[in-house]
Amino acid sequence: MVFELIRPAPLTEQKRSRDGCIYLYRAMKFIGWLPPKQGVLRYVYLTWTLMTFVWCTTYLPLGFLGSYMTQIKSFSPGEFLTSLQVCINAYGSSVKVAITYSMLWRLIKAKNILDQLDLRCTAMEEREKIHLVVARSNHAFLIFTFVYCGYAGSTYLSSVLSGRPPWQLYNPFIDWHDGTLKLWVASTLEYMVMSGAVLQDQLSDSYPLIYTLILRAHLDMLRERIRRLRSDENLSEAESYEELVKCVMDHKLILRYCAIIKPVIQGTIFTQFLLIGLVLGFTLINVFFFSDIWTGIASFMFVITILLQTFPFCYTCNLIMEDCESLTHAIFQSNWVDASRRYKTTLLYFLHNVQQPIVFIAGGIFQISMSSNISVAKFAFSVITITKQMNIADKFKTD
C-alpha cells in the first residue's frame, strides 16, 4: 500500500510514538544526516553528506549573490523579485539547517523519552491514540513534501517554458543564453540543487510540528489518567497514591522531552520569524505587480510554503498551552476530597507544577504563538504599503 503510514494501523499491530517520525528520518537519511555508525559505508555516506551541504547549504545562497554581482542588469523586475524572495529564504534556510543538524542528537534523544512514555500506554484507547498520532504525524510530513516539491517543480517548469532559468543562480560554466539545450541543462542543474535545499528546509520546518503533535497526544493521555484517579473502587488508597505518583512521573518525562527539543525549535523558529515578513512582502509584490499566470502560480506555491514554515507549529503551540490548562482543571476536578493527607499533599505539588504551561520561546526573546506569528507576518503588508506609496513598482516597470 502506498503511503501506508498515513493511515492508522490496526490495534493488532504494535506502534510506538517514535513511528510518527519515520518519514521524517527517512528523508534525513536520504539527504545525508544519519550516517552509519561504522564501516566503509560510513565514509562513503559522509561524502554524500558533504556534497549536500556544499551544494545545497553553501553554494545556493552564494549562487544568488554571484548572479546579482555579474548579471543584475539582465534581470526583469519580476525575475529579480522571484530570485530575491528565494534568496532571502535560502540564507535563512542555511541557518536553520545548520542549527537543526548540529542539534540533531537532541531530536534522536527525545525519541528515547517517547519510548519511556509509551511504557505507560497499555489501555486500548491509549494505544489507539498512539496509532492515530503516528498516522497524523507522517501525514503532516507528506503534506509538507507535496507542497515544497510542488513549489520547486512549478517554478522550474514555468520558468523554463518561459525561456529563462528558474532562479538564475551564478553558473560560470554554462551560459543559458546559448540555445535551448543549454537553457534546459542549466535549469535542470539549478532544480537539482534547489530540490536538495528544499528538502533540507522541509526537514527544518516540519520536525517542530511532528514532535509537538506527539507531545499533545501524550498530554491528552495524561489528562485522561488524571481524570481516572481514585475512580476505581477496587483499588486501595495506597494503590491510588501509586497511580498519582505515576502521573507525576509522566509529567516529569513530558517536561524532560520538551527541555530536550526546545533549544532546537527556538533557534529555527526565531530565524524564520526574522524573515517571514520580508519574504512574504517581496513575494506578494511580485504577485500583484509583475507576475504573469505561470510565475503567479509558482509564487502562490511559494507563499503556501512560507506560511507552512511557521503557522501550523504556532497554532500547535497555542493548543499545547490549552492542553496544560486542561491538565490543571483535570487535577482539580479529580476525586481527591476524601483522600489521605499524603495523597492531597502530592496532588497539591502536582497541581503547582502543572500550572506552569509548556511554552516555547523563539530565540529566548518572544513566545511562539499565533499572535506572535501574525505580528511578524504583518510586516509583509508594511513592505507592500511602502512600495505603493513610493511608486517603486512603477519605477521598476518604467526602467
Share of the chain above pLDDT 70, in %: 97
Backbone phi, psi, residue 292, to 5°: -95, -170
State the pairing for strand pair 361-362/366-367: antiparallel
Q: Which residue has the cell 525561456?
A: 163
Quote the pLDDT of residue 399: 57
Round to whole Å and give the CA distance between 375 and 107: 29
pLDDT reading at 287 higher than 70: yes
Question: 246 or 278: which carries more pLDDT confidence?
Answer: 246
Q: What are 137-168's pLDDT values in tens digits?
A: 999 999 999 999 999 998 899 889 889 899 99
pLDDT reading at 295 higher than 80: no
Quote the pLDDT of residue 271: 94
Read off the pLDDT of each residue in 358-374 and give the average, rounded to a whole number: 92
Domain boundaries, given as residue ranges, for the chain: 17-396
Quote the pLDDT of residue 273: 92
Read off the pLDDT of each residue in 255-265 and give the average, rounded to a whole number: 97
Query: What count of Cα atoms within 13 Å lies in the side-chain half-sphere of residue 376?
Result: 24
Q: Which residue has the cell 481516572?
A: 228
- Residue 395 — pLDDT band, cuts 50, 70, 90? low
Quote the pLDDT of residue 394: 63
Report yes or no: 134 and 195 within 8 Å, Cβ to Cβ: no
Read off the pLDDT of each residue in 6-21 and give the average, rounded to a whole number: 94
Q: What are 92-130's pLDDT values in tens digits?
A: 999 999 999 999 999 999 999 999 999 999 999 999 999
Torsion sign, CA atoms 76, 77, 78, 83? positive
Lowest mean pLDDT among 45-49, 123-127, 177-181, 294-298: 294-298
How far CA 170 is from CA of 51, 60, 90, in Å, comes to 18, 9, 14
- Residue 364 — pLDDT band, cuts 50, 70, 90? confident
- For the chain, the straight-line distance linking the first and the last C-alpha, in angstroms and rounded, comes to 55
Share of the chain above pLDDT 90, in %: 73
- Residue 241 — pLDDT band, cuts 50, 70, 90? very high
Question: 183 or 83: which carries more pLDDT confidence?
Answer: 183
Q: What are 203-216's pLDDT values in tens digits?
A: 999 999 999 999 99
Quote the pLDDT of residue 393: 58
Backbone phi, psi, residue 71, to 5°: -140, 35
- Residue 317 — pLDDT band, cuts 50, 70, 90? very high
Q: Which helix (H) or strand (E) covers residue 366, if one does?
A: strand 366-367
C-alpha cell at 378: 504583518
Q: What are 59-86's pLDDT values in tens digits?
A: 999 999 999 999 888 888 778 888 888 9
Cα 207 from chain centroid?
A: 5
C-alpha cell at 280: 512574504
